[in-house]
Chains A and B, each alone.
Chain A
């Protein structure tokens, strides 16, 4: 988020109507788009303006015949991208314990970015900035385990994927260095974890964290008995950790159970 003065903020706010109608020039657009991720108020205003613009744009004209067929044929010709997960109704929903699918909106990293004082020294996650972890809802009926498995298999076979093994850490309870999960992270940010080595939990859940520089980012909950999981993480993530939590948390003070560095 770029910090701006109050007067600069007001100047940007005055542009939001024109921005929502694509009626600003490129430099103004860039300024606004730098600002929006860190300003919920301006984001909400743009959303409102766009909704009004959407009402203006609703003509009842039917799309030409045959157009859908052309689009469908285009789909057939495309290489299927890796499974990608989106949120349905996220943002304000109560956090729930996770299904065996993790996702996080890639465009909301600013909301889940947290800082830690010394990851390397203690692996103690001391999160200084509040984070909002959002969780998908209403997806159980839509989940396609087979597609997830296929996508994960493809990702692990991809020469472009960064991969790692998540190994146990010396915490006195477990033998260190045991591989409990494996991860493949594709260049487009889609990541997959095969986590069948993590023992099932009777209560609570596993939570996945990404390390990016001096920041630790919650990548979402893994549930109690994760097997195949997908998540999102961008190229700045160089390491991954898993903690055990009572519930999905914004900050953790637990030691990581396993960790790994992305090659």
Chain B
């Protein structure tokens, strides 16, 4: 099988090829998705070096354990982004904890959160995603942004927004469901095979 046919493979087919140690299949997965993974890691960590390390880790993990991707449960891109997000949040929280210990500055989290909320609008997300976000009730939108892009737990978000934890928890869930309804017509639910990976 040549490179051309790899480009024609679905993401699920690519992962099968990766499981057979076809390096060019991993390269194709990288071409499709590395840009998104890098963009998210850099957004979360504000650190290009760390973001590169996370990209490296995510794709090496795909190489080592491709069976962890279950095409029945979502697209490869969402899977890779979830891996990236989890790892970035780990780093972020470790860093936050260190800073908290060293500086004992309890206000830092809240301040960082609000700065970040403003930055979210610089994201180069697709227009229809922005539209869907804007269409959310403000409480849901802010809770999701602080949790996802800020890497905060819902408890932390509750403190930042001065709301009960239960309310934040519900708003995140309701907001995600509402977003899905908005986005599903835009093909978000299908596998992403665009070539924007850089």
Contacts and interface: CB of A to CB of B under 8 A. Distances in A.
Interface of A: 14-18, 20-25, 43-44, 47-64, 67-68, 70-72, 74-75, 78, 80-81, 83-92, 105-107, 136, 138-139, 141-144, 147, 232
Nearest to B15: A86
Contacts of A87: 67, 70-72
Nearest to B38: A63
B35 A63 contact: yes
Interface in B35-84: 35-40, 42-43, 48, 52, 55-56, 59-60, 63-75, 77-79, 81-82, 84
A24 to B, nearest CB: 6
Contact of B144 (A15, A21, A70, A143): A21
A86 B188 contact: no
Interface of B is mostly: helix
Contacts of B48: 64
Nearest to B49: A64
B189 interface: yes
A41 B130 CA distance: 28
30 contacts: A17-B172, A18-B173, A20-B82, A24-B153, A49-B173, A50-B78, A51-B78, A52-B183, A54-B78, A54-B188, A55-B126, A56-B133, A57-B81, A57-B148, A59-B40, A59-B43, A59-B123, A60-B36, A61-B38, A61-B39, A62-B35, A63-B55, A68-B30, A70-B56, A71-B60, A84-B66, A85-B19, A88-B10, A88-B16, A143-B20
Given A56-B129, A60-B35, A63-B197, A138 B13 contact: yes
B60 A74 contact: yes
Nearest to A53: B148
Nearest to B40: A57
A71 B67 CA distance: 19
Contacts of A43: 73
Contacts of A44: 73
B21 A88 contact: no
B118 interface: no
A141 B10 CA distance: 14
Contacts of B189: 51
A54 B77 contact: yes
A236 B133 CA distance: 47
A48 B180 contact: yes
A71 B75 contact: no
Contacts of A16: 173
Contacts of B23: 72, 75
Interface in B162-197: 166, 168-170, 172-177, 179-180, 183, 188-189, 192, 196-197
B67 A106 contact: yes
Interface in B131-175: 133, 144, 147-149, 151-155, 157, 166, 168-170, 172-175
Given A56-B125, A106-B67, A107-B68, 16 more contacts: A15-B169, A18-B154, A21-B144, A23-B154, A24-B154, A53-B78, A58-B36, A59-B43, A59-B125, A62-B197, A63-B35, A71-B56, A71-B59, A74-B60, A87-B67, A136-B16
B116 interface: no
B114 to A, nearest CB: 17
Closest 9 CB pairs of A and B: A62-B198, A59-B39, A54-B78, A17-B173, A23-B147, A91-B72, A61-B39, A63-B34, A17-B172
